[in-house]
């Protein structure tokens, strides 16, 4: 009843007033904290925006670099392909050369064998010639001695 009368007069009890005042103070404190939070969030946002900008810039740089590398890789691939073709050509040449060398080695071996056989044959001929020479000399010496009347 008393409260209603006070209210009718636009007044409140002191206790009520103190409570409301306390609530208002707390609300102020909360508002202050919220302001601080908002400020911090704004700072974060700014920071993230900066980072995002940097990242975007870096991404663009990386894209450009990737493109450069791709170009370079393409060039290397082309070079390697050309080199591979050259090496294949060289390998084919080498194999052909090796075959020729192998054939030449066989020819040399055969020639060496023939040479050895010829040397042996020459040796036989030389031996035979020496033997015949010796026999002929013996006979001729004996004949000469007989012809000259000398004792054999």
Chain residues that interact with another protein, rule: CB under 8 A = 102, 105-106, 108-109, 112-114, 116-128, 130-132, 134
Nearer to another protein, 59 or 104 (CB): 104
How big is the CA angle at 36 (ends 31 and 40), to the nearest 5 degrees? Answer: 145
Nearer to another protein, 55 or 110 (CB): 110
Q: How far is the CB of 103 from another protein (least distance, A)?
A: 11
DSSP letter string over 114-145?
HHHHHHHHHHHHHHHHHHHHHHHHHHHHHHHH
Nearer to another protein, 89 or 103 (CB): 103
Q: How far is the CB of 110 from another protein (least distance, A)?
A: 8
Q: How far is the CB of 116 from another protein (least distance, A)?
A: 4
What is d(CA 98, CA 54) in angstroms, rounded to the nearest whole number? Answer: 62
Nearer to another protein, 24 or 118 (CB): 118
Q: How far is the CB of 61 from another protein (least distance, A)?
A: 60
What is d(CA 26, CA 98) in angstroms, rounded to the nearest whole number? Answer: 99
Tell me the Cα Rg of the chain: 61
Tokens 């050259």, residue located:
86
């Amino acid at each position: 009843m008393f409260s209603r009368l006070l209210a009718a007069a636009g007044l409140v009890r002191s206790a009520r007033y103190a409570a409301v005042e306390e609530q208002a103070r707390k609300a102020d404190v909360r508002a202050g904290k919220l302001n601080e939070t908002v400020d911090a969030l704004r700072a974060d946002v700014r920071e993230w925006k900066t980072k995002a900008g940097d990242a975007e810039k870096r991404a663009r740089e990386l894209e450009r670099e990737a493109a450069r590398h791709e170009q370079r890789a393409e060039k290397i691939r082309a070079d390697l392909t050309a080199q591979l073709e050259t090496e294949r050509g060289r390998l084919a040449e080498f194999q052909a050369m090796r075959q020729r060398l192998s054939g030449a080695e066989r020819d040399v071996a055969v020639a060496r064998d023939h040479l050895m056989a010829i040397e042996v044959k020459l040796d036989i001929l030389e031996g035979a010639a020496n033997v015949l020479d010796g026999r002929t000399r013996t006979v001729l010496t004996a004949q000469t001695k007989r012809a000259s009347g000398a004792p054999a």
